[in-house]
């Protein structure tokens, strides 16, 4: 992962990303293009190979990414997805039910539909970013979010699933700084959400090797979750590698206490998301 130091970036649940909504669009565009390139290179048995998602092979993960892209297009004003929507979202159960609608689908059909959806997603994202209506939406974890932060959840989901299929093949995911930054900041914001439901807000400062910023400050202001990217100054409570930390937050690999050095109540608070998604 690329590194750099652009201080002062903020991701706020209600105010959005300080880079503006087009910075979220840019992250989508580069990640989607890279993922489509990877998937187009898959042939034959590779589609059935194992991933970091214990119950899903590569084709299952790509179908899931397609399903979430379809849902995202709908949320941006497009047509409804080709699977039934439910009022309640269970991160373990609901995506599996979505996949039932495309059971038996060929990889070529999945790729054709994903490619179409990615084009439509970008068109709708750019239009909405240009208008920047300041709309709020309820995110998958029940928090009220600025529309662009809700879209950042879809980006983060796709970013994580790319790692799920690429890393088991012995390949690296080389992504630009703007992607690394948004994935890190949203991953931390998302992980802070479960504890916040009981008003147990996370306040900590982390240094993540390989991250796009020197340090990340995770806090809440008047009950609104916020992540700041800042220069590191040696006062960080927790340290670790960015990839391993984001994986652990999302339920991949070792527990968070094993990948972060340091002592802070935040380790337990941030581990709640992992328990919910695995």
Q: Judge contact between 193 and 262, C-beta under 8 A.
A: no
Q: Distance between CA atoms of 57 and 164, rounded to whole angstroms? A: 10
Mean of pLDDT over the chain = 95
Answer whether residue 113 shows pLDDT above 50.
yes
Mean pLDDT confidence for 172-191:
97
Q: What is the pTM of this model?
A: 0.95
Residue with tokens 């669009």: 25
Query: pLDDT-based confidence at 6, cuts 50/70/90?
Result: very low
Q: Distance between CA atoms of 219 and 76, rounded to whole angstroms? A: 29
Query: pLDDT-based confidence at 278, cuts 50/70/90?
Result: low
Domain residues of the chain, as ranges? 9-277
Q: Judge contact between 13 and 225, C-beta under 8 A.
A: yes
Q: Quote the tokens at residue 60.
A: 């299952």
**What residues contact residue 182 under an 8 Å CB cut-off, 6+ apart?**
11, 17, 23, 24, 27, 152, 155, 156
Q: Judge contact between 214 and 234, C-beta under 8 A.
A: no
pLDDT at 144: 97
Instruction: State pLDDT tens for residues 94-108.
Output: 999 999 999 999 999
Instruction: Classify 229 as helix, strand or coil.
Output: strand
Evaluate whether the domain defined by 9-277 bears CATH number 3.30.300.30.
no
Answer whether residue 2 shows pLDDT above 60.
no
Residue 117: enclosing H or E segment and its boundaries?
Answer: helix 107-131
Query: pLDDT-based confidence at 25, cuts 50/70/90?
Result: very high
Q: Distance between CA atoms of 159 and 177, rounded to whole angstroms? A: 13
Rg for the chain (alpha carbons), in Å? Answer: 18
Nearest C-alpha neighbor of 12 from the set 265, 260, 222: 222
| Lowest pLDDT segment from 140-144, 166-170, 189-193 | 140-144
Answer whether residue 274 shows pLDDT above 80.
yes
Query: pLDDT-based confidence at 8, cuts 50/70/90?
Result: confident
Q: What is the number of alpha carbons within 13 Å of residue 126 lying toward its C-beta?
A: 8
Q: Judge contact between 274 and 255, C-beta under 8 A.
A: yes
pLDDT at 239: 98
Mean pLDDT confidence for 134-160:
96
Nearest C-alpha neighbor of 13 from the set 158, 147, 156: 147
Q: Quote the tokens at residue 251.
A: 């339920």
**What residues contact residue 221 under an 8 Å CB cut-off, 6+ apart?**
none
**What residues contact residue 105 under an 8 Å CB cut-off, 6+ apart?**
63
């Amino acid at each position: 992962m690329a590194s750099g130091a652009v201080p002062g970036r903020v991701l706020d649940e209600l105010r959005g990303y300080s880079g503006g909504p087009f910075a979220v669009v840019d992250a989508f565009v580069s990640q989607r293009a890279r993922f489509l390139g990877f998937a187009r290179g898959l042939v034959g048995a590779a589609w059935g190979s194992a991933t970091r998602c214990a119950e899903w092979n590569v084709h299952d993960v790509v179908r899931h990414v397609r399903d979430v892209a379809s849902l995202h297009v709908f949320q941006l004003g497009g047509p409804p997805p080709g699977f039934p929507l439910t009022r309640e979202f269970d991160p373990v159960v609901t995506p599996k039910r979505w996949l039932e609608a495309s059971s038996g689908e060929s990889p070529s059909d999945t790729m054709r539909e994903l490619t179409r959806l990615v084009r439509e997603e970008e068109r709708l994202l750019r239009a909405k970013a240009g208008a920047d209506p300041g709309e709020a939406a309820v995110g998958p974890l029940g928090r009220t979010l600025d529309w662009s932060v809700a879209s950042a959840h879809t980006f983060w989901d796709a970013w994580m699933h790319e790692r799920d299929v690429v890393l088991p093949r012995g390949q690296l995911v080389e992504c630009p700084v703007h992607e690394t930054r948004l994935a890190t900041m949203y991953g931390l914001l998302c992980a802070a959400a479960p504890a916040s439901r009981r008003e147990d807000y996370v306040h900590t400062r982390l240094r993540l090797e390989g991250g796009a910023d020197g340090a990340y400050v995770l806090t809440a202001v008047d009950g609104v979750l916020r992540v700041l990217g800042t220069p590191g100054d040696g006062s960080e409570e927790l340290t670790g590698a960015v990839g391993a930390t984001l994986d652990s937050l999302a339920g991949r690999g070792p527990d968070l206490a094993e990948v972060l050095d340091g002592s802070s109540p935040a380790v337990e608070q941030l581990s709640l998301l992992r328990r919910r998604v695995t």
